[in-house]
């Protein structure tokens, strides 16, 4: 039996730890053992990332970015379904991840059309590798107030200047409003800009 190997020690400044040689059974046991701790597990081919509870900064950025996207979708009358951080991936995929936020457009589907990830700590498992395996069409990474858009094309992600779903969505403008201190004002002001510019 293989035992997990810790690759990075946990220190007060470290918000995640990586374990190698983790079986799917060990992942499932850890999932049960860590229930109620707010720790988040990400798994890819025997490597397990355990992320400590999310910071207020992370949650603020996630909530504001999500509300801005939803304001755009409502103004444009685009039907959407918020999937939240529902766990993606199964044993057969060799992967598992809880995205920060995810959406389906038009209809509900087993896999999200768009995932939003908030990056406050670099390193760890490459999330794009997980989403590529699951065939998620588009992933946005928010980091330090900037949005990077990745679109799945020919089974590889390409960095793009705009969303493949919304040609008229100004991603840089959305990111600009995501940096505003007041979420309520940010969403109201962004909605007003969308209305004014059709």
9 and 76 fall within a common domain: no
Least confident residue range of 50-59, 137-146, 151-160: 50-59
Q: Verify that 78 and 171 share a domain, yes or no.
A: yes
Residue 62 token pair: 């996630």
Structural contact between residues 140 and 118, judged by C-beta atoms closer than 8 angstroms: no
Same domain, 136 and 96: yes
Q: Are residues 32 and 117 in the same domain?
A: no
Q: Which domain holds residue 27?
A: 5-51
What's the gap between Cα 152 and its chain centre?
15
Give the Cα separation of 133 and 69 in Å (integer): 25
Number of domains comprising the chain: 2
* Whole-structure pTM value: 0.89
Q: Are 42 and 29 within one domain?
A: yes
Res. 4 pLDDT band, cuts 50 70 90: low
Verify that 137 and 189 share a domain, yes or no.
yes
Residues 83 and 162 in one domain: yes
pLDDT digits (tens, 9 = 90+) for 43-78: 999 999 998 866 777 789 999 999 999 999 999 999
Note whether 20 and 68 are same-domain residues.
no
């Amino acid at each position: 039996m293989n035992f997990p190997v810790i690759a990075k020690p946990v220190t007060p400044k470290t918000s995640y730890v990586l374990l190698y040689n983790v079986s799917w059974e060990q992942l499932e046991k850890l999932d049960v053992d860590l229930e109620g701790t707010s720790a988040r597990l990400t798994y890819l081919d025997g490597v397990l990332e355990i992320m400590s509870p999310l910071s207020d900064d992370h949650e603020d950025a996630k909530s504001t970015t999500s509300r801005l996207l939803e304001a755009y979708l409502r103004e444009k009358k685009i039907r959407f379904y918020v999937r939240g951080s529902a766990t993606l991936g199964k044993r057969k995929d060799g992967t598992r991840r809880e995205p920060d936020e995810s959406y389906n457009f038009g209809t509900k589907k087993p896999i999200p059309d768009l995932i939003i990830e908030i990056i406050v700590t670099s390193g760890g498992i490459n999330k794009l590798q997980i989403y590529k395996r699951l065939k998620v069409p588009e992933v946005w990474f928010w980091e330090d107030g900037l949005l990077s858009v990745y679109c799945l094309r020919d089974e590889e992600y390409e960095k793009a200047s705009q969303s493949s779903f919304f040609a008229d969505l100004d991603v840089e403008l959305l990111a600009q409003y995501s940096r505003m201190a007041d979420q309520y004002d940010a969403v109201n002001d962004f909605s007003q800009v969308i209305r004014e510019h059709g």
